Amino acid sequence: MSPMAPPAVGPVRIEVRGVVRREDFTLRLDTAISEERTAVIGPNGVGKTTLLRLIAGLERLESGELKIDGRVVDNAGSVFTAAHQRSVAVAFQDHRLFEHLRVVDNVAYPLRRAGLKRAAARNRAGDYLAAVGLSEAAMVRPAQLSGGQRQRASIARALATPARVLLLDEPLASVDDQSREDLRDLLTSTEHRTVVWVTHDPDDARYADTTLTLTSRTLNRASSQP
Amino acid sequence: MIRLPRAPLPLLVPAMLAVALLVVPLIGLLQRAPWSSLGTRLADDAVLEATRVSLIVSFSAAGLCLLLGLPLAWVLARVDLPFPRLVRAVVLLPMVLPPVVAGAALLFALGRRGLIGQWLDSWFGVTLPFTTAGTILAATFVALPFFVTTVESALVAQGRDLEEAAAVNAAGPMTAFATVTVPSIRGAIGAGLALGWARALGEFGATITFAGSIGGRTRTLPLQAFLALESDPESAVAISVLLLAVSLGVLVGLRGRWLTR
């Protein structure tokens, strides 16, 4: 589905050891994500979203080091690779669609940034919209979509982003049961080399190779699926 | 039928007095307006020339607001500045500063013997006081805070969410600014431009202090109205009615759409 992503040569290894301090909590991390499909679970407010934001480059380490594919992208000091240079795609829990653009142009946005011309980007965006079952809404503005449709549009945009790593924050929380099954298949079959998937749904976690459990603001090591 | 909410008298009476204070002068102006000859008075050569200067000055000032104020609003909304309160106060200062003080300050900074003006004069031969360019600067000085605060509050209200979404879609900061930030606050940008333009159009004190009142160069409509007040009061009233109509038009056009978010 994403012919512009680098060829699949196994998962991208993400190693993080360090501390993120936010206004309301401190997250201590010491883990490595090395499987293709990793589910992140844990109670509310434990820092699952913060972990994704850290990997995406939207949050900085206060101390420690974050490596993606062996390269240091954040060392809490001199090294910080900005989000737009990390080759990481994100589907946000709150969707974050660009309200001034049509749905198809939201999905085409990352393709345009990758250098595609408008028509080609729209064309390919149409494929991703079809994959999430949103073809009929391509030409409307996001404001006209339902919550579930917005979520699917945001998934389509993340899938369209040519990146090595795909980060999903509760991607299926507001879609109906029927679409959920289809979307799970879609998300697990994406050509992104590594998918990190924050979820509350045990069924989602079952699709992953590995489950990472966050407890009491400390990220434990990954435990392999039984 | 208008439904009047029951208001306690101690609130209602002062409120009505306040409205009267604002409205009575306008009625005073309108009842003096030479309605039958309004057209010919506004078509008078001196008035037309002042209109031309006013249009050039106000639209140039609005353009400068966009060019300089949009980046400034973004910096104020998104960058952790040292002494943020002081910086914000300096940006807002022209809103409360007596315009004469503003004009004098511009003169001491950009006049021929001013801080920067002396270099502009000796190095580039550029003189700002008593020129149209100086008039534009004076108008921009007073209009800028109206534009900046309108746009800044829209940026703060919007938050960083969409800029983050653009970043993880491989948009660099400038691309995100141009393709996501600006289009999503275009309503506030339009409102800020309208307010800044209207303020620039009405500018008087800083202009007369810094740029004087030279016909065809620095004499804008408000200066023309002031000049005419002695010699040809009816012409002054005609210009005033025109400026009143434009100001009211801008505010009515904006009402409830962008000023209240």
Centroid of chain to Cα B105: 18
Centroid of chain to Cα B184: 23
For residue A51, what is the domain's CATH number?
Answer: 3.40.50.300
Q: How far is B159 from chain A (nearest CA, A)?
A: 11
* Calpha distance A173→A64 (Å, rounded): 32
ipTM over 0.90: no
CB contact under 8 A, B170 and A56: no
Q: How do residues B57-110 score in pLDDT, each as one tens digit?
A: 999 999 999 999 999 999 999 999 999 899 999 999 999 999 999 999 999 999
pLDDT for the residue numbered B253: 85
> Phi/psi of residue A188, each to 5°?
-85, -15
CB B213 within 8 A of CB B227: yes
CB contact under 8 A, A161 and B169: yes
* Calpha distance B73→B95 (Å, rounded): 16
Q: How do residues B173-197 score in pLDDT, each as one tens digit?
A: 999 999 999 999 999 999 999 999 9
Neighbours of A193 (CB within 10 A): 20
- A49 falls within a domain: yes
* Cβ contacts of A12 within 8 Å, gap of 6 or more: A68, A69, A164, A165, A193, A194
Torsion of Cα atoms, A109 then A114 then A118 then A122, to 10°: -60
CB A163 within 8 A of CB B167: no
- A131 falls within a domain: no
Torsion of Cα atoms, B2 then B6 then B8 then B9, to 10°: 40
Domains defined for chain B, CATH in brackets = 41-259 (1.10.3720.10)
- A124 falls within a domain: no
Q: How do residues A54-99 score in pLDDT, each as one tens digit?
A: 999 999 999 999 999 989 999 998 999 999 999 999 999 999 999 9
pLDDT for the residue numbered A222: 46
- A187 falls within a domain: yes
CB contact under 8 A, B164 and A96: yes
Mean pLDDT of successive 10-residue stretches along chain A, which has 226 residues: 54 91 81 88 86 94 93 93 93 94 97 95 96 94 94 94 92 84 85 88 83 69 43
Chain B residues with CB-CB distance to A101 below 8 A: 183
Per DSSP bridges, beta strands A71-74 and A63-68 are: antiparallel
> Which domain range does residue A43 map to?
14-87+163-224
pLDDT for the residue numbered B23: 95
Query: Which among B170, B183, B184 is the nearest to A161, CB-wise?
Result: B170
Q: How far is A160 from chain B (nearest CA, A)?
A: 9
- A106 falls within a domain: no
CB contact under 8 A, B168 and A162: no
How many folded domains does chain A comprise? 1
Question: Which of these, B73, B14, B80, lies nearest to B191 by C-alpha position?
Answer: B73
pLDDT for the residue numbered A224: 42
* Calpha distance A87→A101 (Å, rounded): 23
CB A50 within 8 A of CB A60: no
- A211 falls within a domain: yes
In this prediction, residue B251 has a pLDDT band, given cuts at 50, 70 and 90, of confident
Q: Considering just the CA atoms, what is the radius of gyration of chain A in Å?
A: 17
Q: How far is A107 from chain B (nearest CA, A)?
A: 10
CB A103 within 8 A of CB A139: yes
Q: How do residues B199-246 score in pLDDT, each as one tens digit?
A: 999 999 999 999 999 999 999 999 999 999 999 999 999 999 999 999
CB contact under 8 A, A90 and B170: no
Q: What angle do CA A180, A155, A83 make, to 5 degrees?
A: 140
Quick check: B167 contacting A, CB < 8 Å?
yes
* Calpha distance A19→A31 (Å, rounded): 12
- A204 falls within a domain: yes
Percent of chain B clearing pLDDT 90 (strictly above): 77
Query: Which among A57, A94, A113 is the nearest to B171, CB-wise?
Result: A113
Half-sphere exposure at residue B146, Cβ-oriented, CA atoms within 13 angstroms: 26
Length of chain B: 261
pLDDT for the residue numbered B257: 58
Chain A residues with CB-CB distance to B170 below 8 A: 84, 110, 113-114, 161-163
pLDDT for the residue numbered B260: 46
- A35 falls within a domain: yes
